[in-house]
Copies of this chain bind each other. A is one copy, B any other.
Amino acid sequence: MSTAQLDFDEWFQSTVAHTTAVLDEFLPAVDEGHQRLHEAMRYAVLGPGKRVRAALVYAAGEASLEAGSAASAQREGLDYAAAAVEMIHAYSLVHDDLPCMDDDDLRRGRPTVHRRFNEATAMLAGDALQPLAFELLAQMPVAPALIVQAVQLLARSAGSFGMAGGQAIDCDSVGQVLQSEALQQMHRMKTGAMLEASVLLGGIVAGAGSAVREGLEAYAAAVGLAFQVVDDILDVTSDTVTLGKTVGKDAASDKPTYVSVMGLTGSRELLASLREQAHEALRPLGPTACRLGGIADFIVGRNH
């Protein structure tokens, strides 16, 4: 393992730990307000997770900050933005696991929220995590005009033209044959939109100029798709213990996936090319973008 790799692993681990601490702080305490709801929100968000979206926020922020700038307000702002994208991600998993959607019992190796609590509490916990994300963005200690951009981006990415829309296409495509292009479009919305938003939020909060934003966008688009291709590959090649959720679920429910549409080999080839695209997009950004490169490699190489 190279020094760069060891260095990235260390950064990534410390970012996961930092993110978890930040989420813990920003989530409502159990003894404030409605105890059971807050318990469910904390359970949904604080379980073991890769925190890839938060890492993308921090890495994109790093790549966008002026080299050597202290920029402590921006750094603090990144905490809010990182927590916001993780709240949205967590809510989407809680709702996705409900009986009327994927009906999953396991998530990250633990009972899903509706199994641990009940369906109504799971739905409401998801419903309450979503506005919390926007509240956090509104609290960022950066210029109001940047907050407005961030709210607009997160809202668009989570809504019917982003994550929720992709989810709806996914639900309605069960049992159908999707063409490669339609599948790509669905994943761009369902998973890609929020991964891209994470990258761009980091740029917005850190005050990235338009050239840097363009690089971030191209990187984000490649990484967003790569993430889903890996997910689909793991659904057929991993096992339930390693993955922490039920494997073979998509195949069993007859959902179109990259593997079902382009085969295992085709999916792996696509993945290699997306990785190349991600690194290509970072080239103009220089050495501060190295964390983003590391995350692209991590996403492509992950086994759970």
* CB-contacts of A92-108 with B (<8 A): 92, 95, 98, 100-101
Contact A167 B130 (CB under 8 A): no
Residue A124 is within 8 A (CB to CB) of chain B in the complex = yes
Name the residue among A145, A161, A168 with the largest chain B CB count within 10 angstroms.
A168
A138 to B154, CA, bound (A): 11
Contact B168 A34 (CB under 8 A): yes
Which bucket holds chain A's interface residue count?
A: 35 or more
Contact residue among B28, B126, B160, B172 (Cβ-Cβ distance under 8 Å from A128): B160
Name the residue among A126, A135, A159 with the largest chain B CB count within 10 angstroms.
A159
Contact A156 B135 (CB under 8 A): yes
Residue A240 is within 8 A (CB to CB) of chain B in the complex = no
Contact residue among B37, B123, B135, B160 (Cβ-Cβ distance under 8 Å from A152): B135
Contact B144 A131 (CB under 8 A): no
**Residue in chain B with minimal CB distance to A146:** B144
**Residue in chain B with minimal CB distance to A152:** B138
Contact B101 A120 (CB under 8 A): yes
Shortest distance from the beta carbon of A174 to any chain B beta carbon, whole Å: 10
Which residues of chain B come closer than 8 Å to A138, judged between CB atoms? Answer: 148, 151-152, 155
Contact residue among B134, B156, B158 (Cβ-Cβ distance under 8 Å from A151): B134
Contact residue among B34, B139, B168 (Cβ-Cβ distance under 8 Å from A165): B34
Contact B127 A95 (CB under 8 A): yes
Contact B164 A127 (CB under 8 A): yes
Residue A285 is within 8 A (CB to CB) of chain B in the complex = no
Name the residue among A118, A119, A156, A160 with the largest chain B CB count within 10 angstroms.
A160
Contact A158 B171 (CB under 8 A): no
Which residues of chain B come closer than 8 Å to A165, judged between CB atoms? Answer: 33-34, 37, 128
Q: List 21 A-B contacts (CB under 8 A).
A: A34-B160, A34-B165, A34-B168, A34-B169, A37-B164, A37-B165, A38-B160, A100-B120, A101-B123, A121-B168, A121-B171, A128-B160, A128-B165, A130-B131, A131-B154, A134-B151, A135-B155, A138-B155, A144-B145, A147-B148, A151-B151
Chain A residues engaging chain B, CB cutoff 8 angstroms:
28, 32-34, 36-38, 41, 92, 95, 98, 100-101, 118-121, 123-124, 126-128, 130-132, 134-135, 137-139, 143-145, 147-148, 151-152, 154-156, 158-161, 164-165, 167-169, 171-172
